[in-house]
Amino acid sequence: MLAKVLRSESATASARLISTRLIHLRSAKTSTVSKSPGTSFEGEELKLTSGFHYLKCLDDAIDLFDEMVRSRPLYSAIDFCKLMGVFVRMNRPDVVISLHKMMELRLIPLNIYSFTILIKCFCDCHMLSFALSTFGKITKLGFQPNVVTFSTLLHGLCLDDRISEAVALFDHMVETGCPPDVVTFNTLMNGLCREGRVLEAVGLIDQMVENGHQPNVVTYGTIVNGLCKMGDTVSALHLLRKMDESHLQVNVVIYSAIIDRLCKDGHHNHAQNLFSEMLEKGIFPNVYTYNCMIDAFSRSGRWSDAKQLLRDMIERQINPNVVTFNALINAFVKEGKVSEAEELYHEMLRRDIFPDTITYSSLIDGFCKHSRLDDAKHMFDLMVSKGCSPDVVTLTTLIDGCCKAKRVDDGMELLHEMSRRGLVPDTVSYSTLIHGFCQVGDLNTAQDLYEEMIRSPELLHEMDNPHDRTGFRIVRIEPVVILCFILKLHVLGFTHFITLTQRVRKIDKEKTKVRRGKMLAKVLRSESATASTRLISTRLIHLRSAKTSTVSKSPGTFGGEELKLTSGFHYLKSFDDAIDMFDDMVRSRPLYSVIDFCKLMGVFVRMNRPDVVISLHKMMELRLIPLNIFSFTILIKCFCDCHKLSFAFSTLGKITKLGFQPNVVSFSTLLHGLCLEDRISEAVALFDHMVETGCPPDVVTFTTLMNGLCREGRVLEALALVDRMVENGHQPNEVTYGTIVNGMCKMGDTDSALHLLRKMDESHIKANVVIYNAIIDRLCKDGHHNHAQNLFSEMLEKGIFPNVLTYSCMIDAFSRSGRWSDAEQLLRDMIERQINPNVVTFSALINAFVKEGKFFEAHKLYREMLLRGIFPNTITYNSMIDGFCKHDRLDDAKRMFILMASEGCSPDVVTLTTLIDGCCRAKRADDGMKLLHEMSRRGLVADTVTYNTLIHGFCQVGNLNAAQDLFQEMISQVVYPDTVTYNIIIHGMCKGGLVDEAWDLFCSLPIDGVEPDVQTYTIMISGFCGISAVSEANALFRKMKDNGHVPNACTYIILIRGCLRAGEIAASAELMTEMRSNGFRGDAFTMKMVC
């Protein structure tokens, strides 16, 4: 808009002046950019937190980029870098990569900073090869990589665990004459410590000092953490003492790392001494520190100490979390103190801390151990009803309880329940149940379960991979299972297994699972000639061959168990383990089936590492490992996740070339990728192509496309798809309707959304809380609070429980409309339903109370937030600071500002502008000026409101020089004055007797592209009347009306009084008549003077 205005006013003096200044400033800026390494990336010239702070959404930032590349003269490289910084903050490195390519194609000048940002983005996308090639490109173009360029690439290498390459890069950096800084050293140390190379990291400290850099708290913290992970607490403590000698302030993170390691190693007294040392030094432990200590004391049976720590924690207003209580409950259960564990559970509930899966599993274990199976089952039902998903451990614990109570059929039912929930039983689950059936003498069922177990693909991999460390694989098969199998063979007539049976019984007495596993593997290897092991080996090979032979090129369905991404390899929790598994699989002979590889790719998908899937898929192709439609579909998904749609399309083409037929999931996956990139028209075209090729879309396909259309505002097209969906034999579900409803609400069409909601009722499709939330939110935003309340009541009547978002919408709506009692009642109702209000809920109420002048209530809510352990955010603090300022409590407002910063909550432009306003209200404009400088120091850019506030403050105290200086600064900072700015300045000049100067400024308004309003005219008329220039005032009054501005009561009264003071009684009487005819009434004093 500004560009449009300037273009339209290009002939005016002001526009020429601004254009010239901008070009001059831009040229000056551009001329400072050189290829020398001189300046650091840390300077203001590329501070990513500055510039374009008003851009909040991706579309606005893209639009600005388009304008910048079209602008002439062209924006400088620094401006483009600042905009790239916006995309970095939005966590969209893929966009930066694309836009950087566009800049190169358009020959837009680039500098070392823009290339450094590009390297960072490649690293964030795990595209290190591109980052390295960009690094090489820098030198080819004649730029000199600086310390930040090297540090960025080094950080990327460390993130991908390529530490040796990071070390090599560090050495190369030094060789090329670029001295590393503290950040570089700390980054490399952290990488080395993560790989266990702590001694090398320690060696870097000396090199760091030689380079003139002093290690800081981050440096020492990195080393301490690495030492603790290695278990070397002696060295960690030595380093802690060295920090004390160097007068470096140790933080809670360093102490917590050492305390945690000491506790894990069983040195509880040393940990307690260190904990006491922290307190003596005034370093306050956090919830993590307390959790370490409580867990250690609980495990070592020091119950009173653990409970005392919990009490101490609460007294210090450090809210214990679910981990704190879990440590105590689990330890109490293991020690047989179930009643104490129950007490803690109830204490958790009283403190509004919701138990998690670990809590429930521990309590169920306790009940089972005390033969309270019904209580355990009741706890399980409660767990499910609270929306807490049980895991394999929970159900295995309950199965164990059933088996101990000789209720093995109940245990079998729980095994089936596990499958129904999508959980995969592990060897412990099977072992427990097999043991239970053996105990009740049902060996047939035990044998059936054993055979079912070894048919399970997940457990098969644990048992039979010859390249695996057998001790750690077979550890998952309990000796009792093998024993049961041997006993079954004995019953069938095999009488020569007595020796093997006795040896397995001895193994079962071993203390640790790993030890049992290793011994069991040894026994089975030594008995390789026996019938039992031959039978097991034969069965395993047969099963694997059978599995491999089932792989074909038929399209099948992607939804079956054969490629269920949530199943398979569920025990792989770390990235390294998954990579190791892949290496084992590609070396294994006979080769694992493609389905197994697909399941492993699913593990990487769940780890959110699509880049790894792409690399491993390429490796599979190079090794000629068979691929199928499912593996290619996963690859398409990963390309979409990496925003590489061109590769996803080429993969779809490759599928058909290889003779596979893309199925509904292949198309749906690619269609979803297009929608994510807002390429909706292409998604529609793909949908049509899919139908043309004879692949019928399913519910997921239709819903995906509908969602994309709704996001683009094409709701009518999405609605038309519903009819087409029904024609294809698919019934719309709540997700389908929810997508349409959400789209309608975004368009503001609540009538259609409500109509669709009624249609769902007629179709007996139960609407969920998400659908109701969308409509309620829109109704609230449109001011239809009663309709929203009716819909809220309807939800409750239907048994659809509102969530925190529902309540927050309603509370915000009631607060804005002044219905305080209703808003507070909703908050109480929310708490009673055990729906924890969040910071949004409280911020809405606090903000509304402050605006209505109910600051006491706002302050009360703020304290309630803190008591509930909810941390205020920037909006909360802004509202509280505003409240203090409005009630002339400036010192309290400043204290709140300091508290805000100390709690790590970053103030924004609104925060500081509010505080500046408070200073100006208190006639402390100089303090306001200091806050303006503070804003710049924090990398925040003052806006028009900020300058207006401070200019007004200086005018109020009569310091016109400072006000005018600020006005000039405002223009120089390219913050454009508005009508309010000019009104303030003109009023200040008139008030200070500078009416001629005020008139000059008034006359320049059209030149500066600013339209005077009624207030501007009234201020200027008042100025003329103040120096008895009534004729000029009357002339301006007539001009005001000629220009279409209707005078208000204030304008009439000021001019009438001016005429009276000048003795123009007739003119004042005429103005009085005109004022009355326009519906205004004069004040009593003016009326009396005229009459």
Average pLDDT, stretch 834-853?
A: 85
Q: According to the model, what pLDDT value does residue 1087 have?
A: 54
Higher pLDDT, 482 or 875: 875
Question: pLDDT category, 36, cuts 50, 70, 90?
Answer: very low
pLDDT at 640 over 90: yes
Q: Which CATH number fits domain 978-1090: 1.10.150.120, 1.25.40.10, 3.90.1150.10, 3.40.50.720?
A: 1.25.40.10
As to burial, measured by CB atoms within 10 angstroms (0-12 exposed, 13-18 middle, 19+ buried), residue 573 is exposed
Work out whether the CA dihedral 200, 206, 212, 216 comes out positive or negative: positive
Question: pLDDT category, 101, cuts 50, 70, 90?
Answer: confident
Q: According to the model, what pLDDT value does residue 775 have?
A: 92
Q: According to the model, what pLDDT value does residue 885 have?
A: 92
Q: According to the model, what pLDDT value does residue 522 have?
A: 52
Q: According to the model, what pLDDT value does residue 348 have?
A: 84
Question: pLDDT category, 734, cuts 50, 70, 90?
Answer: confident
The predicted-structure confidence for 325-341, as pLDDT tens digits, reads as follows 888 888 888 888 888 88
- Min mean pLDDT across 146-155, 471-480, 721-730, 742-751 is at 471-480
Distance CA 156, CA 131 (A): 9
Q: According to the model, what pLDDT value does residue 155 have?
A: 93
The amino acid occupying position 180 is P
Q: According to the model, what pLDDT value does residue 1090 have?
A: 52
Distance CA 836, CA 842 (A): 11
Contact 709, 718 (CB under 8 A): yes
The DSSP 8-state label assigned to residue 355 in this structure reads: P
Structure tokens, 415: 């095994």
Contact 580, 623 (CB under 8 A): no
Q: What integer best gives the mean pLDDT of the chain?
A: 79
Residues in CB range of 242: below 8 A, 6 or more apart: 220
Q: According to the model, what pLDDT value does residue 52 have?
A: 65
The predicted-structure confidence for 7-30, as pLDDT tens digits, reads as follows 333 333 333 333 333 333 333 333
Q: According to the model, what pLDDT value does residue 18 have?
A: 32
Question: pLDDT category, 388, cuts 50, 70, 90?
Answer: confident
Q: Which of 346, 434, 360 is nearest to 393 (CA)?
A: 360
Residues in CB range of 589: below 8 A, 6 or more apart: none
* pLDDT-above-70 percentage for the chain: 83
pLDDT at 565 over 70: no
Residues in CB range of 380: below 8 A, 6 or more apart: 360, 364, 390, 394, 398
Q: According to the model, what pLDDT value does residue 534 have?
A: 37
The predicted-structure confidence for 457-485, as pLDDT tens digits, reads as follows 455 444 444 333 333 333 334 444 555 54
Higher pLDDT, 218 or 484: 218
As to burial, measured by CB atoms within 10 angstroms (0-12 exposed, 13-18 middle, 19+ buried), residue 793 is exposed
CA 448, chain centre distance (Å): 47
Average pLDDT, stretch 69-81?
A: 84
Average pLDDT, stretch 413-434?
A: 84
Domain range summary for the chain, segments of one domain joined by +: 1-31, 466-549, 562-662, 734-794, 978-1090
As to burial, measured by CB atoms within 10 angstroms (0-12 exposed, 13-18 middle, 19+ buried), residue 386 is exposed
As to burial, measured by CB atoms within 10 angstroms (0-12 exposed, 13-18 middle, 19+ buried), residue 986 is buried
pTM of the model: 0.44
Q: According to the model, what pLDDT value does residue 151 have?
A: 92
Average pLDDT, stretch 732-736?
A: 85
Question: pLDDT category, 39, cuts 50, 70, 90?
Answer: very low
Q: Which of 29, 26, 79, 93 is nearest to 50 (CA)?
A: 79
Q: According to the model, what pLDDT value does residue 51 have?
A: 52
- Min mean pLDDT across 55-59, 197-201, 516-520 is at 516-520
Average pLDDT, stretch 775-791?
A: 89
Structure tokens, 804: 């925190």
- Min mean pLDDT across 510-514, 856-860, 1030-1034 is at 510-514
Question: pLDDT category, 558, cuts 50, 70, 90?
Answer: very low
pLDDT at 634 over 90: yes
CA 661, chain centre distance (Å): 38
Q: According to the model, what pLDDT value does residue 537 have?
A: 34
Distance CA 683, CA 709 (A): 9
- Min mean pLDDT across 284-293, 531-540, 781-790, 1070-1079 is at 531-540
Q: According to the model, what pLDDT value does residue 530 have?
A: 40
- Min mean pLDDT across 34-48, 300-314, 835-849 is at 34-48
